[in-house]
Structure formats: C-alpha cells, structure tokens
Structure 1
Amino acid sequence: MSTVLIISGSPSSTARPGVVATLVATALTAAGHSADLLAVRDLPTVALLAEDRAEPAISAALSAVESADGLVVVSPVYRAAYSGLVKSLLDLLPTGALVGKAVLPLATGGSQGHLVALDFVLRPLLFAMGATKVLPGHFVPDRMIEEPGTGTGAVLAPARKALEDALVPFQDALRKASALTA
C-alpha cells in the first residue's frame, strides 16, 4: 500500500489535534497503509525557525515529506488560521515537494466559525506550496474530542465516523496515484 505522513501541528500529543492525528494514523494503518506521524513540535525549535535544513532532525522531516505518497496535515485553528508549527515546516519544503501527492487537510477548533480556515487558509496554502491533489478538508469541533484528563482523549463516535468517511476519498487518491506509477 501507500506511505502516508501525518504532519501534526498540535502543541502536545494530548491536545485535540494530536488526538485526531493519532486516530488518523491508526485508521490508515488498519487500512494497510504505512502511516508515520511527524509532530512538528518535536523538531528543534531554533533549527526550524532558522530554516536550518542541514540539522539532522529537520533534514529527516523533509525527507519524510519527500518520500511519502500522501500527506495528512492536522492543525488546530487559532483565530481563523492554521498553526504556526505547520507553516514553519511547510516553509522549509522545496518548490514542487507536494506535486503529485494526495494531501488531506484536517483541523480542530472551538467553533464552526473556525471551519472556514480549512477552505480559505489551509487549502490555499497547500496549493501555493505546489500541491496538485489537495482533497476537501475536514473539521473536527473541539467539543467532539474528549478532554484527555477527563476520559480517553477520544474522538466521539459521530465525529469519528465523519473523520473515517473523510479518509475514504484520500485513500482513493492514494490508490489512483499508486496505479499510475505501477
């Protein structure tokens, strides 16, 4: 199957976007894909902000993006924009790094008003970065993700089903790309 890199702009593994990223990794792995999670917060901050592509962890992250067949970009929405962590990593990518890759933007946020960040901010950014196969994004409201301290930190059933449904066209895009290169 395909290799998928899940880029998480979550401030922590237990924050809501981190919970969504983990769920996506689990679902894609169960579907037979190789799914790796790249938590941008774990990259060396100074090297990331200084755009030090020679730093080993930054170089490895860029190589992971390059070698992936598809990307899932998970970001919290803050004040109608994606995470600065996501933007910091995407800014390091060389021109054309996303060409031909299936890309699925996902976001979490406090209200339905944050939904517009997917279509009017994150998707255009991905296209501007050279992505040619950006699928419609999917938004998971914060209220549909249990607080990590109050339970399992799980995505509630209706949102989980909707998220799994959003992965179907992404997986179809991966299969089509795989068939073209075979």
Structure 2
Amino acid sequence: MKKAVIINGSPTPGSRLTALMEQAEKGLEAAGYEVSRIDVAQLPAEDLILARFDSEYVIKANGLVAEADAVIIASPVYKASFTGVLKTFLDLIPQKGLAGKIILPLFIGGSLAHLLSIDYSLKPVLSSMGARFILGGVYAVDAQVARTEEGGLEIAEVLQERLHAALEELIAETGLRIAQRQEQK
C-alpha cells in the first residue's frame, strides 16, 4: 500500500489549514493511500527545541516520514515564511530524510503577498534535505476557507479545485516514482 504523511506545521488546532489537510487526507485515502499525520505542535516542545534526535516521539515521527512515499508539508505563513515549529521539526529529520519522496507544500496566508513563500522559504530547506521531487504546491488565502455557523470550515470551490489538481499530480508522480524504484530492483 502507498503511504503518505502530512506534516502539520500549524501551532493552532482547528485553524483554516485543518480543512485543507483534511481534504488532502480524504483525497489520498480515496486513492488507496495509508495516510498518517504529524502534528508538530503536539510533539514535546523540549524535544524539538533541544533537538533530541533520540526522543521516542521524534523517532516515531521520523519513522512515518521514512516510510512515506509522499509527504505533504502544511503550514500557515508567518512573517513571510513557514512556522518556527515546523522548522524545528524539519531540523530533526535526517539530512537526506526526504530523498526519493514526492513532496507537496500546502500553505495558507492572510493575503497573496506571501504567495512565493513556498519557493523562497520552504523549497531551499527541502532541497538541502535531499528532496528532488517538490511539486509546485498550493497556496491558499485565509478568505478561501470560511468558518461556518456550525463551527466547521468550508473551502471555496476554486481552492478545492486547485487542491484536487495538486493531489492528482502527487498521486501520479508517486506512482511513477514507485514504478521506477521497482524497475531498479
């Protein structure tokens, strides 16, 4: 079975980013993926801040990344970049821990002003970790995810379409990568 992991870099449970991650998870599961999620803000803060590579929580999270064929890296945009809590976790992934993975960035920000934050802040970090298959990603604006009166979240149709297209690309690229690895064996 194909495996995917969603790395949630949001420090806020129930944020608008949650709706995007849930839709991505449903789309991948419908395509036959086993999907795991790492909520970085739920990892012990001391383990992250003190870079405890030997922490059972960090080891377990890194195991999910190691087993995954596809990785979605989700973050709100703060100060024109991804969150600090996400960076602390990325620093704990082994140096070449993203080699051979298909990566889909999934960012949300207050305005289009930070649209290029995926390209300028995240992609260089991922490249330094061996990632060579980084898809264009999806950048959403807060206004595209509305809170409903019932307390839920509703994604604008145009954003749903973009997310669906990105997931289709992730699924196709992951399938190609898996087939290439099998041919090499």
Superposition pairs of residues 21-60 of structure 1, within 5 angstroms: 21-60=21-60
Please, what TM-score do these two structures have when normalized by structure 2?
0.93
How many residue pairs match? The answer is: 182
For residues 150 and 161 of structure 1, what CA distance do their matches in structure 2 show? 24
Structure 2 match to 1:101: 101
Q: Deviations over 1:101-127 (max 9, x none)?
A: 101111000100111101111112211
Between stretches 147-156 and 33-42, larger displacement belongs to: 147-156
- Compute the displacement of 1:68 (Å): 0.8
Q: Which amino acid aligns with 2:73?
A: V
- Compute the displacement of 1:168 (Å): 1.4
Structure 1 match to 2:64: 64
Q: Is the 8 A contact 1:13 1:19 kept in 2?
A: no
For residues 143 and 99 of structure 1, what CA distance do their matches in structure 2 show? 34
Q: Is the 8 A contact 1:145 1:155 kept in 2?
A: yes
For residues 74 and 49 of structure 2, what CA distance do their matches in structure 1 show? 20
For residues 87 and 129 of structure 2, what CA distance do their matches in structure 1 show? 10
Structure 2 match to 1:81: 81
Structure 2 match to 1:126: 126
Structure 1 match to 2:172: 172
3-state SS of 1:4 partner: strand
Q: Deviations over 1:22-50 (max 9, x none)?
A: 21111111111111111101100111111
Unmatched tracts of structure 2, length 5 or more: none
Superposition pairs of residues 146-165 of structure 1, within 5 angstroms: 146-147=146-147, 151-165=151-165
Q: Is the 8 A contact 1:123 1:137 kept in 2?
A: no
3-state SS of 1:146 partner: strand
- Compute the displacement of 1:181 (Å): 2.3
Structure 1 match to 2:4: 4
For residues 38 and 70 of structure 2, what CA distance do their matches in structure 1 show? 13
Structure 1: which 4+ aligned runs deviate by more than 6 Å? none
3-state SS of 2:79 partner: coil
Structure 1 match to 2:113: 113
**Per the alignment, do residues 148 and 98 of structure 1 end up closer, same or farther by CA in structure 2, a change over 3 Å counting?**
farther
Unmatched tracts of structure 1, length 5 or more: none
Q: Deviations over 1:113-144 (max 9, x none)?
A: 11110111111221122111111121011101
**Per the alignment, do residues 79 and 150 of structure 1 end up closer, same or farther by CA in structure 2, a change over 3 Å counting?**
farther
